[in-house]
Homo-oligomer: A and B are copies of this chain.
């Protein structure tokens, strides 16, 4: 079902990049699990109907990403292939959801600021436009590999100082708890996909043209009052979402 077929000539995206995407996808879906390595360059060139040099460019890009490692005389070994799963439900929590899948997770606070809610944030948090809100910019890692970058907004009146608490605890759940909110639930999640921009490429260690999964999510307290609105940008080749109904 996941067989690799010939690429068709396409303008605008370099052939080597298209091929790199195909191979990355094949690795991630376990096509080469038996051998633990990618087929020889000459074989790939034949499969894709391109020159061996073009395949080499693709493999060089994947090596740069740390997905494969070429060894002269032996072949090209697969270094990484896992895809993290994020269950999306009423009890969605970022770090908890990863507990069984990664040895080590980190949340880095890039910055935080207090500002006035714009129309979008006001709508999601159900406050007046212009109401003071706190914005947090974060990047989350799993096993030293960046997984998502996000921007979150909180009502400033209720969650004063959440930035510094988050920096120390590296957890929204813990930060909420420290501010007197012991429990919260995921109310709404919107999911889209897009290309990575230059900020994504930098923060998530992606390569140009990479694909992102983007969520816009709103959490409420147990009374249904919005406590957090966040936009998260996930590296699509490292994650999948699961919704259980």
Which residues of A are in contact with B by a Cβ distance under 8 Å? 1, 5, 7-8, 10-14, 16-18, 20-22, 25, 61, 83, 88-90, 92, 118, 120, 185-195, 197-198, 201, 207-209, 211-213, 236-237, 239-245
A18 proximity list for chain B (CB < 8 A): 195, 208-209
Could you list 15 examples of A-B contacts with CB < 8 Å? Answer: A1-B120, A7-B198, A10-B201, A12-B20, A12-B209, A22-B197, A25-B194, A186-B245, A189-B243, A190-B241, A191-B242, A192-B236, A193-B236, A194-B211, A194-B237
Q: How far is the CB of A55 from chain B (nearest CB, A)?
A: 14
Bound-complex Cα distance A243 to B90 (A) = 10
Q: A188-B242, A192-B213 are in contact. Are A13 and B14 (CB under 8 A)?
A: yes
Residues of B near A239 (CB, < 8 A) are 192
Q: Is B12's CB under 8 angstroms from A12's CB?
A: no
Which B residues lie within 8 Å of A208 (CB)?
10-13, 18
Contact B243 A88 (CB under 8 A): yes
Question: Known interface pairs A25-B194, A188-B245, A245-B89. Does A209 touch B240 (Cβ–Cβ under 8 Å)?
Answer: no
Q: How far is the CA of A7 from the CA of B11 in the complex (A)?
A: 19
Contacts of A197 in B (CB 8 A): 22
Q: Which of B17, B190, B241 contacts A12 (CB 8 A)?
A: B17
- A243–B197 Cα distance when bound, in Å, is 25
11 further A-B pairs in the complex, CB-CB below 8 A; given A8-B201, A10-B201, A10-B209: A1-B120, A12-B17, A12-B207, A12-B208, A12-B209, A18-B209, A21-B195, A185-B245, A191-B241, A192-B241, A193-B212
Most chain B beta carbons < 10 A, residue from A5, A92, A240: A240
Question: In the bound complex, what is the Cα–Cα distance between A12 and B207 (angstroms)?
Answer: 9
Question: Nearest Cβ in chain B — how far from A20, in angstroms?
Answer: 8
Roughly how many angstroms separate A191 CA and B185 CA in the complex, as a whole number?
A: 21
Q: Given A88-B243, A211-B193, A236-B194, A16 and B21 touching (CB < 8 A)?
A: no
**CB-based nearest B residue for A220:** B245
Closest residue of B by beta carbon distance from A120: B1
A189 touches B242 (CB 8 A): yes
Q: A189 — which chain B residues lie within 8 A by C-beta? A: 242-243, 245
